[in-house]
Structure 1
Amino acid sequence: MFINATGFYVPEERVHNQHFLELNGLTSEWIEQRTGIKTRSKAKPEENICTMGIEAVRNALPKLPYDITEVDLIISASYSPYDTVATAAHYTQREFNITEAKALYLSSACSSFLNALEVVEGYFAMGKATKALILSADKNSAYYNETDPKAGHLWGDAAAAFFISKERVTENDPHIIEIFTQGLGHLSKGPEGVQLRPRDGGILMPEGRDVFIQACTYMPKNALYLLEKNGFKLDDLTYFIGHQANMRIMSNIAKQLGLPEEKFLHNIEELGNTGSVSSALVYAQNDHSFKKGDLVCLTVFGGGYSAGACLIQC
């Protein structure tokens, strides 16, 4: 599979750490020290994953080497739906008149984007699609509880759009070498680690320590697995993009792997934890700087639990 174009949308508003002092008693210094977050992005009340996804598509269109109506599969990947009936995929289909596309929604916490990539791979393998659009977005501010001292200060809002084709369209299309995902609901705290129950407290992380431990285990493990399976060494990796949950997780992984910090791409310090879009967003924000031959690994861990990794050669 090949990446034909990417786009992204990040709301303008930034919520600073000091906002939370009166809400949950956490100082700006404490939040930054424990998470690496200084500010987080926040969508407007009238924005949602559908509107943000559409803006991410608009951002990608100038780079798309074919007409958007050639897309025959649209997948919305998110855990914070605006509408559970008419999904972001359907809104986008209507907005851009993509009449011949299948449209669907999937969710697997913060690994939703990688699961969407794997679903696209399946449709391509079955011969049921040739060009796909993945809309990855989360509006955490629609669900979070800012007074929650465990997780109320973590979340940001954003969207990314990835156009994927079965065959190479241009010589510059990055090659998706392999995708690997896994469900880990049986593991440790599993489904209780992170929750989003809209009528019961919103998005919560009651088992943050366990999430930290599992993320530090499975994100590097899956990256190494894909590298070795595809004949690469760790030194061959140009950039490491992890799920933007906590900079301490990234620092832990850097020490485990012995990778220099310049190989880690991140945006959590400005945008917070943007959820299932976070790794895709980092890639889309940096794709203009990738050089031919660069090897990029996306690796994520999500509540539920779930995990996955993807290896891309630019």
Structure 2
Amino acid sequence: MNPMSQPSSRYARITGTGSALPTRRVTNADMAAELAQRGLETSDEWIVERTGIRARHFAAPDQTSSDLGAEAARRAIEAAGRQAQDVDLIIVATSTPDMVFPSTATIVQRKLGIQGCPAFDVQAVCSGFIYALSVADAMIRTGAANCALVIGAEVFSRILNFEDRTTCVLFGDGAGAVLLEASAEPGILATKLHADGRYREILEVPGTVSGGQVIGSPLLTMDGQAVFKLAVTVLGEVANEVLEAAGRSAASVDWLIPHQANVRIMQGTARKLKLPMEKVVVTVQEHGNTSAASIPLALDQAVRAGQVQRGQTLLLEGVGGGFTWGAVLLDF
């Protein structure tokens, strides 16, 4: 049995959510105009048909993942009725950190005025928030933490190849956060995490810094068809895994909140679970793929819109480069 799904008298519950988006909204028409200047052709119709995306947000030149993450964190803390000093653990999921080191989590910690508690980053690309939430759940269950900030924050616009129309239209920037607190009542019911490095090449940024220079490419590359095929398969499998671990059925799920990469992937996952799309939170049309930020960003938007309500059961799942994937089932 997964140790993170074993019965316990101590659980982790989400008590607050928050999100942040850059001010600059970039529509498909804006993207088409920018690409036309580079001699590349695309259109709103082409992008919407293949992905469901209509717009995304791009960070300002001086705006970082920690800026967006800290803003989302403040809103989550406020929503939970807590103060920053109540936080005793900070985990940031990001593939676009502010710098090589220190971690973006410690930079967020400083911006929130918190001192002393552990703070670290998790890098699992688009599955990062699921990984980070699973780690925080385990730490709360074992008593290593009582009040954790779990944040997904990205500025993916910095690593996009704007000479590749098939990838640059897919991604956006943003952040989402949850406050996770110890509780005697069940919150997170089960988690499942997986990875398979054999599929590394289908989605990667194959560059690094060495001797003051970038070695390899610092821009995203993706085999879209391979990612699509693998994503639909593993997301369906891990959803059933986490339901089985919690002793629940798909019929008990009030909301599926998947990684917001492509509406067709979400539709495929919903079909595998026999869930109607009316039970799927979809924000990809306005945000694009915000990688590790997409699930907490979608969750917060759904909470604030009145879709997701207390007492409901949520299935969160993500898949990303690595190849990584995972799911979390929780009572909200």
- Pair 60,122 (structure 1): closer, same or farther in 2 beyond 3 Å: closer
For residues 206 and 102 of structure 1, the distance between their equivalents in structure 2, rounded to whole angstroms, comes to 34
Map of 2:140 onto structure 1: 124
CA separation in 2, counterparts of 1:237 and 1:127? 28
Alignment partner, residue 231 of structure 2: 215
Aligned to 2:5: none
Matches within 5 A, 1:96-135: 96-135=112-151
Q: Which residue of 2 aligns with 1:182?
A: 194
Unaligned 5+ segments in structure 1 are none
Secondary structure of the 1:26 match is: coil
User: 2:323 maps to what in 1?
Assistant: 305
Q: Which shifted more, 295-304 or 282-291?
A: 282-291
Q: Letter of the 1:4 partner, please give it.
A: T
Select the residue among 11, 17, 26 that pairs with 2:22. Answer: 11
Question: Cα offset for 1:91?
Answer: 1.7
* Residue in 1 that maps onto 2:297: 281
Q: Aligned ranges for residues 17-32 of structure 1 at < 5 Å?
A: 17-18=28-29, 19-20=31-32, 21-22=35-36, 23=38, 24-32=40-48
| Residues 71 and 100, structure 1, Cα contact 8 Å, conserved in 2 | no
CA distance in 2, matches of 1:126, 1:250: 34
Secondary structure of 1:192's match? helix
Residue deviations 1:223-277 (CA, integer Å, cap 9, x gap)? 1221222222211111111111111111222333332111110111111111111
CA distance in 2, matches of 1:12, 1:100: 32
- Higher mean displacement: 261-270 or 88-97: 88-97
1:47 aligns with 2:70: no
Is 2:223 the counterpart of 1:232?
no
Secondary structure at the residue paired with 1:4? strand
Unpaired runs of at least 5, structure 2: 1-11, 208-213
Q: In structure 2, the residue corresponding to 1:57 is in which secondary structure? A: helix
**Alpha-carbon distance, 1:196 to partner:** 1.7
Q: Deviations over 1:55-79 (max 9, x none)?
A: 1122223223332212111111100
8 Å Cα contact 1:50/1:87 also seen in 2: no
Alignment partner, residue 273 of structure 2: 257
- Identify the residue that residue 267 of structure 1 maps to in structure 2: 283
Aligned equivalent of 2:9? none
In the TM superposition, what whole-angstrom CA distance separates every residue of 1:268-313 from its partner, at most 9, and x where no partner exists?
A: 1111111111112111111242233211101111111000001111
Give the Cα–Cα distance (whole angstroms) in 1 for the partners of residues 57 and 27 of structure 2: 9
Q: How does 1:124-163 map to 2 (within 5 A)?
A: 124-163=140-179
1:60 aligns with 2:72: no
Q: Write the letter of the residue equivalent to 1:63.
A: A
Name the counterpart of 1:294. 312
**d(CA) in 1 for partners of 2:46, 2:244:** 38
Cα 1:205/1:117, change in 2 over 3 Å: same
- CA RMSD across the alignment: 1.8
Which residue of 173, 197, 204 maps to 1:195? 204
In 1, the alpha carbon distance for the partners of 2:111 and 2:98 equals: 16
How big is each residue's C-alpha offset from its partner over 1:121-173, in whole Å with a ceiling of 9 and x where there is no partner? 333344322221112111011111122122111110000121112225xx8xx
Residues 42-93 of structure 1: CA deviation (Å, up to 9, x unaligned):
1111111011111112222322333221211111110011212132211222
| AA partner of residue 291 (structure 2) | G
Query: TM-score under structure 1 normalisation?
Result: 0.92
Q: Secondary structure at the match of 2:126?
A: coil
Note if contact 2:231-2:265 (Cα within 8 Å) is conserved in structure 1: yes
The amino acid across from 1:193 in the alignment is I
Change (3 A) 1:66 1:16: closer
CA contact (8 A) 2:254 2:314 kept: yes
CA contact (8 A) 1:150 1:205 kept: no
Rounded to whole Å, the distance in 1 between the matches of 2:285 and 2:241 is 28
Supply the AA of the counterpart residue of 2:21.
Answer: V
Amino acid of the residue matched to residue 237 of structure 1?
V
Out of 89, 92, 104, the residue aligned to residue 88 of structure 1 is 104
Task: Report the Cα distance in structure 1 between the residues aligned to 2:74 and 2:144, rounded to whole angstroms.
Answer: 26
TM-score (norm 2): 0.87
User: What residue in structure 1 maps to residue 210 of structure 2?
Assistant: none
CA contact (8 A) 1:39 1:271 kept: yes
